[in-house]
Structure 1
Amino acid sequence: MRELVIDGRRIADDSDCFVIAEIGHNHQGSVERAQELFVLAKQCGVDAVKLQKRDNRSLFTRKLYDTPYDNENSFGATYGAHREALELDAASYAELQACARELGLVFFATAFDEASADLLEELDLPAYKIASGDLRNTPLLRHVASFGKPLIVSTGGATLEDVDRAVETVTAINPQLCLLQCTAAYPAAVEELELGVITTYRERYPELVVGLSDHQDGIAMAPVAYMLGARVIEKHFTSSHTAKGTDHAFSLMPEGMRKLVRDLRRVPLAVGDGVKRPLASEAKPLQKMGKQLVASRDLPLGHVLDTGDLVAKSPAEGGLPPYALDELLGQTLVRPLSEDEPIRAVDVSAAVTDGVAEAASTTAS
């Protein structure tokens, strides 16, 4: 049975969707802004909030770190300075961890390097995310898997060989793995979401929870992913599409996130238990729209029913249903019927089958 437990939250085929608000660096390097986003995310009903942690000096080449970065989304003169301005230190993470705990949110982060992973592990975070760019980074996968915590791994830009390698690397050490189908484009076009890969993963890795890292600019595809078996949905989250930074434009704002969570929670309710049955809410509409057999004209006592004597008309108010017509033909009326008067099982000399009579009784009720 595929199952994952993150900070006490059980994720399985028979569970609600585990919804992650990916805040990333939309906090713009501010603890206060991150806290505001946590509160908004909680109000939207998400299960978890997630940040991104980088040790920039060790992560980037010196050339990239020192590359000029002069654009409208820059927080520094070089790419390294830009990234450092967006980074939160260990004390900030501890403060945000406490904030999330108080709000009842699961709090974790993407580790982009081993130093960041070690910092997060010192805080005893309940889970880790590995980004698509590190799917082939088996040393990092192995290092984080060794912590014995659940891993959520995105698979954007991968082949099945890449995914197999990552799965084998992690599960050889730690079976607590969730795979996310992902298109590593920001935003991702609907025609490039490849949601069918969710089914592929579920069939290929029957022991693993599967989900979707959804970079599409909208909320309609996540419920589709749930129907295909995704039980983790990750969505970027912001408080303003116009805020400085590249992620804000395709991130969900609170109204969108609320609707996303609402729709994901509705899916299992809408699916139901698979049993086809009449519902109480259908009774009045079907009484009005349904049909019963009625006399097409005045019919005398003793009349032998023939073709054309009975017609189907609305509403259905206790008369026999139209499918009883064949059984009624050739039977004798034991009382007269007026035009448009419904015919019932007791109105003919031969007993109408119990099933037909019961159906008429159900329609009437």
Structure 2
Amino acid sequence: MRALTVNQRTISDDSDAYVIAEIGHNHEGDLGKAEELVRQAAAAGAGAVKLQKRDNRSLFTREMYDSPYTGRNSFGPTYGAHREFLEFGTHEYTYLQQLSAELGVDFFSTAFDFASVDFLAELDVPAIKIASGDIRNTPLLAYAAKAGKPLIVSTGGADMEVVRRAVGTVLPLNPDLALLQCTAMYPAEPEELNLAVLGTYRAEFPDTVVGFSGHDLGPWAAWTAYALGARVVEKHVTLDCTRPGSDHKFSMEQAALTELVDGLGRVRRSLGGRDKVVQPGERPAMLKMGKKLVAQRDLPAGHRLSLEDVAIKSPGDGLTPDRLADVVGRHLSGPLAADADITLDVLMEMDSDAGRD
């Protein structure tokens, strides 16, 4: 069975979407803003909130760390200083982890390096996310897989060969994997989402839960993804889409996240089951609009019915038109008035029809 359990939540083809509210660094280095984002995500119905964890000194080259980084989106004079300003440590993570537990949402993070995997494992988060930028980082994938936590891996910027290599790295070490279709563009336009690849993932990895990490605008692509089999949905969240920073503009405020979650529930209910059945609520309409077989004109007892003797009229409370072949050629056991129902009860038995005209 295709299933993944995160903190006692089972994610499967039969479950609601597991919605991850990606805070990332939209907290802007402010624990108060992070707390408010967690509270809003929980109130909107998200299943999890997520941060991003980096060991900045080891993650970036010295040149990149020390490179000038100024402008509207900067929180420091160099890229390293900018990243350090946004980075939360043990105090912030522990506080937000406890808050999330109180609010009933899971709390975890993306790990961008080996030290961050260790940090999150020590914190005992219920899952670890690997970002699209590390889809080719098989050493990190293997290291995270060995941490013994469910892995949620985004696949932006990858082709199927790269995806197969990533999955082949993780699964022998850890079967608890969710594979997310993602487009590493911020924001991504509809024609760049390639949601149909979800079917490819489901076919090629039949025991793996698949999902969608969306950098698109609005909820509709996530709703479509659920209909195509995605059971993990990740969307960025913010307190204010107009704030400076690269992620705010395509992130969701609380009202939009609530709409997303509610819509995913409606999509699940609208999918229903695989069997085609008659819904109880359809019966009044089908009675009014449906058709039945009736006498075209007054017909005497013993008459042998022809096509010209049978009319198809509403309401649909009698013998349905798909039974026409069962009545044509049969003899009437009694007279029928025009518009009277033709039923099997008014037809003679087949063996007693023999020899009649």
TM-score (norm 2): 0.88
Which residue does 2:168 correspond to in 1?
A: 168
What is the alpha-carbon distance in structure 2 between the residues aligned to residue 194 and residue 291 of structure 1? 44
What is the alpha-carbon distance in structure 1 between the residues aligned to residue 109 and residue 309 of structure 2? 75
Which residue does 2:89 correspond to in 1?
A: 89
Q: 1:327 to 1:5 in 2, by over 3 A?
A: closer
**Does residue 131 of structure 2 align to residue 131 of structure 1?**
yes
Three-state SS of the structure 1 residue aligned to 2:19 is: strand
What is the alpha-carbon distance in structure 1 between the residues aligned to residue 96 and residue 36 of structure 2? 11
Three-state SS of the structure 2 residue aligned to 1:95 is: helix
What is the alpha-carbon distance in structure 2 between the residues aligned to residue 350 and residue 78 of structure 1? 94
Q: 1:251 to 1:8 in 2, by over 3 A?
A: same
Structure 2: runs of 5+ lacking an equivalent: 352-357
Deviations 1:13-61 (A, max 9, x none): 3333222111111112122211211122112222111111122233223
Which residue does 2:355 correspond to in 1?
A: none
TM-fit CA distance, 1:330: 4.1
Which residue does 1:339 correspond to in 2?
A: 338
Q: 1:147 to 1:160 in 2, by over 3 A?
A: same
Q: 1:58 to 1:325 in 2, by over 3 A?
A: closer
Which residue does 1:195 correspond to in 2?
A: 195
Deviations 1:318-354 (A, max 9, x none): x3222333433344444444433333333344479xx
Three-state SS of the structure 2 residue aligned to 1:308 is: helix
1:131-280 correspondence to structure 2 within 5 Å: 131-280=131-280
What is the alpha-carbon distance in structure 2 between the residues aligned to residue 170 and residue 302 of structure 1? 78
Deviations 1:283-326 (A, max 9, x none): 10000000112233344455443343321111123x32223334
Which residue does 1:54 correspond to in 2?
A: 54
Q: 1:178 to 1:276 in 2, by over 3 A?
A: closer
Tell me how many residue pairs correspond in the alignment: 351
What is the alpha-carbon distance in structure 1 between the residues aligned to residue 333 and residue 207 of structure 2? 67
Contact kept? 1:345, 1:351, Cα under 8 Å: no
Aligned-partner residue type, residue 251 of structure 1: S
Contact kept? 2:334, 2:346, Cα under 8 Å: yes
Which residue does 1:362 correspond to in 2?
A: none
Three-state SS of the structure 2 residue aligned to 1:75 is: coil
Question: Greater shift after overlay, 233-242 or 77-86?
Answer: 77-86
What is the alpha-carbon distance in structure 2 between the residues aligned to residue 206 and residue 331 of structure 1? 54
Contact kept? 2:53, 2:87, Cα under 8 Å: yes
What is the alpha-carbon distance in structure 2 between the residues aligned to residue 263 and residue 53 of structure 1? 30
Contact kept? 1:53, 1:112, Cα under 8 Å: yes
What is the alpha-carbon distance in structure 1 between the residues aligned to residue 160 and residue 306 of structure 2? 68
Aligned-partner residue type, residue 291 of structure 1: K
Question: Greater shift after overlay, 285-294 or 245-254?
Answer: 245-254
